[in-house]
Amino acid sequence: MQYLKKIIFLLITLSTFVAAQAQTKKSRASLEQEKKNNLRKIASVRKILNNTQKEKESSVGEIKAIGEQIDNQEKRIELVSKDINLIKVEMEELKKAQSELELKLKNLRHEYAEMLYKESKNSSKLTKLGFLFSSSSINELFMRYKYLEQYTENRKQQLVQINKIAEMLRERQKTLLHKKISQQQLIEELKIENKNLAVLKDRQSLVLEDLSKREEELKAQLEKSKAAVSNLNSLISKVITAEKTTRKVPASRREIEETRTKTAKTESKTKAAEPEKKETVSYATNSSKKFKNFAAAKHNLSWPVNGFISDRFGVKNHPVLKGVKVDNNGIDIQTENGATVRAVFEGLVLDISQIPGLNNVVAIQHGDYYTVYANLETVNVRINQEVNINQALGTAAKKDGYHEINFQIWHNFDKLNPEPWLVNK
């Protein structure tokens, strides 16, 4: 009985270790997903960066892409370091469990050997048959028989448990060896990633040095950009004002209602006996999809184009010109040549215009919300067209040597930061 208690205690120890391993596996899965996402971002920005570096002259777009890649590379180094530390924790857990198991297994084997020794000594004095037939009654004979049967079975089970634990120890040793190899590989990978980071920072310094020599040119570009942004603000404000003052309902809805009215009049002449059927028109709703309205889709809007945020919402320092501030009513997303720009939500195309410095601009209405897609090379939609989520609006245009769009979200006349509205990549 005492021996069985020790077996049970050992199994409890093993279950505790398995639970700790499960928690470590959860951390491992989360880390691996982060690493995968980071590698995808690095690959995406690398393609964009390669496009900008094909240009004859350095550009603000290139410096933004390098800055983004430096951030990604630093994140990569951080994740590799986390991986090394996690492996260290895993190895410590393995070593601790291995030491405990080895000690307990040694004790179990020692006790099992003593039990066999005592049994062999007793068996020389009294055989099993002698033990049985020395019973004083049939009932006692039966009880002694059951005892011998259980004793033999318990001994077999104890041996099975000892072998099982020994096998688990061998597996732990293999896992520990694998972890050591993985840790060494990651240490070497970390050295390479640090070298890659140094190369990026050297490139950043060279591009900044080159751009600083073209200060007047950059200032001229900035003034041109400010004028384009001012024109865009005026345009969107006028479009929203016109929509609110001259249209109680969107044009597409009005046209649908007019068509239905004409159809109803025609049908009433031939089917006067039929009761009138009323239909409800739903504008800018998404009942067949996950979100019922634009506001409910916050944090889950799809990206208008593949790429990275090259300029964030609000006021910040110019990436090159010292002491110069730049303002953005939305976000700029740098992308690849020929990248498709898509609607982030279903709605109605309210306006399509051309603005010097921002090429084609598409404005889409989603009830009281509006999304704006500026600097499009081509446009695939028309005014008053209803569009679906992810429907292609056109392609991204080039700006000062790199491809980039400006994306804005307005709530009535308030300009919102689009970044929190987009799904995390």
> In this predicted model, what pLDDT tens digit does every residue of 239-284 receive, in sequence order?
999 888 865 544 444 444 554 454 444 444 434 433 333 333 333 3
Hey, which CATH number is domain 224-268+284-421, 2.70.70.10, 3.90.1640.30, 3.30.70.240, 2.40.50.140? 2.70.70.10
Closest CA to 372 of 423, 409, 421, 335: 409
Q: Which helix (H) or strand (E) holds 348?
A: strand 347-355
Q: How far apart are CA 206 and CA 127, in angstroms?
A: 93
Cα separation values, 148 from 132, 154, 274, Å = 9, 10, 93
Mean pLDDT of the chain: 79
pLDDT, position 110: 72
The top-scoring range by mean pLDDT among 84-88, 106-110, 219-223, 361-365 is: 361-365
Q: How far apart are CA 244 and CA 345, in angstroms?
A: 20
pLDDT, position 253: 47
Cα separation values, 265 from 253, 271, 362, Å = 18, 10, 37
Cβ contact 371:421 at 8 Å: no
Q: Beta strand 386-387 with 340-342: parallel, antiparallel or unpaired?
A: unpaired
Helix %, strand %, coil % of the chain (to 5) = 60, 15, 25
pLDDT, position 296: 92
Q: How far apart are CA 330 and CA 85, in angstroms?
A: 39
Cβ contact 150:41 at 8 Å: no
pLDDT band at 153 (very low <50, low <70, confident <90, very high): low
Q: How many CA atoms lie within 13 A of 356 on its CB side?
A: 5
Q: How far apart are CA 333 and CA 61, in angstroms?
A: 10
Average pLDDT over residues 154-176: 72
pLDDT in tens, 285-322: 333 344 569 999 999 999 999 999 999 999 999 988 88
Beta strands in 73-221 (DSSP E): none
User: For the whole model, what pTM was predicted?
Assistant: 0.69
Average pLDDT over residues 337-365: 95
Q: How far apart are CA 373 and CA 137, in angstroms?
A: 99
Domain locations along the chain: 2-212, 224-268+284-421
Angle at 403 between CA 218 and CA 236, to 5 degrees: 85
Q: How far apart are CA 401 and CA 58, in angstroms?
A: 9
Using N-to-C axis directions, what is the helix angle for 138-212 and 2-53, rounded to 10°? 20
Q: Tokens in use for 242? A: 């016109």
Angle at 182 between CA 178 and CA 183, to 5 degrees: 115
Beta strands in 158-290 (DSSP E): none
pLDDT, position 26: 76
Count of other CB atoms within 10 angstroms of residue 369:
21
